Structure 1
Amino acid sequence: MASTPQDTLFIAGAGIGGLTAAIALSRRARPVTVLEAAPALDPIGSGLQLSPNAIHVLRGLGLEEAVRRQAVAPEAIRVMSARTGKPIAEIPLGQTAETRYGAPYLVIHRGDLQQVLLNAARASAGIDLRLCTRVRDARQSADAVQVEVETDAGIDHLSGGALIGADGVWSNVRRRVMDLRQAVFSGRTAYRAVIPIEAVPAAWREATGLWLGPRAHVVHYPVSAGREFNIVALVAEDWQEESWSTPADTAALLARFASWPAECRDLLALPNRYLKWALCGMDPGTSWVNGRFALLGDAAHAMLPFAAQGAGMSIEDADALARAIDTTDHLPNALARYQATRQDRAESVLRLARSNDRVYHMAGPLALARDTVMKGLGGERLLARLDWLYGWRPPEGR
């Protein structure tokens, strides 16, 4: 049966979640129009981590090999003490993770992952990607949505079956269309930089480093198939701006870490410039769905990056959304089923990220106790604690 305009599903946002959802829906012969405000999908951002739960979804979409070509599979997460400069624990990844979970643990530049998804979307039948198209507002009736968009040519009105807000932590769909509270500033700021891998000591080129210190921590790992190195410093700071790419004061950042171990300070001093963004999060329990409107990824459950699952949860959401819509032609029921399937798990990860925020940034005796517990557990048992997260797989079948 030929599709009609009312069958079209609108996705606001061509980020990781939005593109993955569009691809997953297109694989199920659902027509999708992706509405992206940016004039071009430039490779902005820094590195991100794709744990096995996300790779299983990408594998099901036929994208695993393309992702692997741009990624690195780190051998371990090396947890370091900012107090002593010594290792606390080494959590095995590499072949250990792939054997344990049936898929690899990868690190990748956000722009490289987005390009893989963009290539797949452009090659997929039934996906209409519209750049320079900003969702201004929308309304719904019993059997359709009407979306008001702003383009270079002016205001336009589109009609379809549903509107999915995959437009990130500062979601316009969440704020303007669904009239929900936005994510709240966490009191943390992230500083990011990407540098050539040749500038980095060889000891750090095949592992993920995680330095834990009072009111701050540092993460670094290779990206871009090992050609570049991603460094992120996360600090307690009272600064807020709705931007991913605000230039940072590098000297002021380095001064924050003046008392940290030399090995970490030397890594932080390698980039010539940093960009920064304010970390925002949402409280659990907020509805993601209202009839024919729904939210996905950060727009639904923005979380602090302290569980490295922002991209993973968006990818899982996309898979669950497509599966729910594939089961029925009644979209409000499908969207309600999508939320019921996803919300508990996403909010468990949100809580894990908040818990890690407290644990990572301990000081004094609490930090000493944390380090002692982690050393006592050892890397294998620390990894096993995350089996519930990394061991997730999409349901069998479509």
Structure 2
Amino acid sequence: MSANGEADLPIIIAGAGIGGLTAALFLRDRGHQVVLLDKANVLSEVGAGLQLSPNACAVLDRLGLLQELEPHANAPDNLRIWSGTSGRQLATVRMGSFLKMRHGYPFWQIHRADLQRVLLDKARATPGISIKLACEVMDLTSTPYGNLTCIYQDADMTGNLACKALIGADGVWSRVRRLVPGHENARFSGQVAYRTTVPIDAVPRRWTTDPGLWLHRDSHLVHYPVKGGRHLNIVALAEENWQDERWSTRADREALLHLFRNWPAEIRNLLGSSDEWLKWALCSVKASGPWSHGHVALLGDAAHAMLPYMAQGAAMAIEDAAILARHLPVDVENVPAALRAFEFHRKARVTHVQKVSFDNARTYHYSGALALARDTVLRLSKPTSLATRFDDIYGWTPEQ
């Protein structure tokens, strides 16, 4: 038992998304009781694919989840990079067996809902983890005797739970972040992402194999199979003066086609293959800001939301979860010190990955001479050399 008698109190996690669920599983594995609070009435994820690079798979393997995830995943052999101006292929990036041999784990593309469902099923089947929905964390208070109480609001009343720590895994618009002095709120990047999924048999065969990355002035597009190869995930990103704090908002296909009016006809036809588009404002949270204060810590997007130009947002939350649990053994004596150690352990890596993402955002959207130079470098690069550029990101494991 810890010196202050907290051993039997739970750790409360605000947010039952990918980061929150992964953290709950790792903390329970360390022996903690865990309570997950989520403001949603039903836990569900809507139409978005994500990438599980080898570093993320290394963490999920520690939870024994790779076998359950594999039927839902697509493991591409190559990434093909295209010019959104000329329609020509610029480069091929080796993935698949090359990355698995190099790093020991696969590079998967998966639907967010499938990943969350596997994590949620595991959490619900794990004694010692409880999930309360329609509950939003409001505050964390302490008594003169040092007892902590998490205040939450549900549909009918204000409730409270005694706890030993509060973890904010409640996303880019985190409410828990307000409890960490000095942490800035999310900032709009000036860019918007449109997303959809379509049945794989509804598009030409050329789109159904290797994923594609298309580069154009002030915009780019990615597409790749998800749902075990049964659907194609399409994400079109462009600079646009629009903001919305909701995770997703319905988008107008004609407005999207207008944004991509100067793109090749085959891409416009692909965009026109779906009537169901969602869009969201791309926002970021500076990873260099504070992540912890007393018995409160942030992880994932709440601490360091990043632009999707390195496809590492989910991976960083998954990594955070494993390292947080490492710093919180069940008999932890000093929770605030442990949370500060977690922050110190993670901050340099996440700040680096966030910077790579920002740098990619500029490079992807070059125009004129800069775009010409970029395309020339891509054409002259070997497929394996392009794949090894991010060894420091993909090669990470929880033991490092």
Equivalent residue number for residue 331 of structure 1:
335
Q: Whole-Å Cα distance in 2 between the matches of residues 362 and 140 of structure 1?
A: 51
SS at match of 2:149: strand
Provide the residue aligned with 2:395 in structure 1: 391
2:354 corresponding residue in structure 1? 350
For residue 43 of structure 1, give the secondary structure of its aligned residue in structure 2.
coil
Distance 2:268 2:98 in 1: 30
- 2:358 matches 1:373: no
C-alpha contact 2:9 2:162 (8 A) present in aligned 1 = no
Match of 1:382?
386
**Which residue identity lines up with residue 358 of structure 1 in the other structure?**
R
Deviations 1:278-321 (A, max 9, x none): 00012342010101100000000011010000000000000000
Note the 1:203-222 alignment, pairs <5 A. 203-222=206-225
User: Which residue is equivalent to 1:200?
Assistant: 203
Contact 1:165 1:174 in 2 (8 A): yes
Structure 1 residue runs of 4 or more that deviate by more than 6 Å after TM superposition: none
Question: Is the 8 Å Cα contact of residues 78 and 96 (structure 2) preserved in structure 1?
Answer: yes
Counterpart CA distance in 1 for 2:387 and 2:361 is: 18
Aligned residue among 241, 248, 261 for 1:245: 248
Does the 8 Å contact 2:211/2:222 carry over to 1?
A: yes
1:303 and 2:306 matched? yes
- 1:173-204 per-position Cα deviation (integer Å, ceiling 9, x unaligned): 01356563211000000001011111122222
Q: 1:5 to 1:100 in 2, by over 3 A?
A: closer
1:78 to 77, 80, 99: 80
Percent identity over the alignment is 46
Does the aligned pair in 2 maintain the 1:15–1:167 contact within 8 Å?
A: yes
Summarize deviations over 1:339-394 as a string: whole Å, max 9, x none.
11100000101000100000000001110100111222222111111000000011
Q: Does residue 134 of structure 2 align to residue 125 of structure 1?
A: no
Give the distance between the partners of 2:142 and 2:240, measured in 1 at CA: 41
**SS of the counterpart of 2:381?**
helix
Alpha-carbon distance between aligned partners in 2 of 1:145 and 1:186, rounded to the nearest angstrom: 37
CA contact (8 A) 1:45 1:244 kept: no
Structure 2 distance, partners of 1:339, 1:38, is 27
Alpha-carbon shift at residue 43 of structure 1 (Å): 2.8
TM-score (normalised: structure 1)? 0.96
Q: Is 2:235 the counterpart of 1:232?
A: yes
SS in 2 for 1:385: helix
Segments of structure 2 that go 5 or more residues without pairing to the other structure are none
1:23 maps to 25
- Matches of 1:325 and 1:164 in 2, distance apart? 12
Counterpart residue number, 2:285: 282
Match of 1:138 in 2: 140
Partner of 2:364: 360
Who is 1:158 aligned against?
161
Aligned length: 396
Residue 309 of structure 2 aligns to a residue whose secondary structure is helix
Deviating more after overlay: 148-157 vs 99-108: 148-157
Give the residue type in structure 2 aligned to 1:254.
L
1:59 is aligned, of 61, 67, 71, to 61
- Report the Cα distance in structure 2 between the residues aligned to 1:199 and 1:278, rounded to whole angstroms: 28
Contact 1:144 1:292 (C-alpha < 8 Å) held by counterparts: no
Measure the CA separation in 2 of the matches of 1:207 and 1:26: 38
Matches within 5 A, 1:256-295: 256-295=259-298
* Amino acid paired to 2:165: A
Deviation digits for residues 48-91 of structure 1 (CA, Å, limit 9, x no counterpart): 01100000000010111111111111111111101211111111
1:5 positional shift? 7.4
8 A contact 1:77–1:90 mirrored in 2: yes
Preserved contact between residue 36 and residue 131 of structure 1 (Cα < 8 Å) = yes
Aligned-partner SS, 1:136: strand
Q: Distance in 2 between matches of 1:286 and 1:366?
A: 32
Distance 2:294 2:147 in 1: 10
Q: Distance in 1 between matches of 2:280 and 2:376?
A: 32
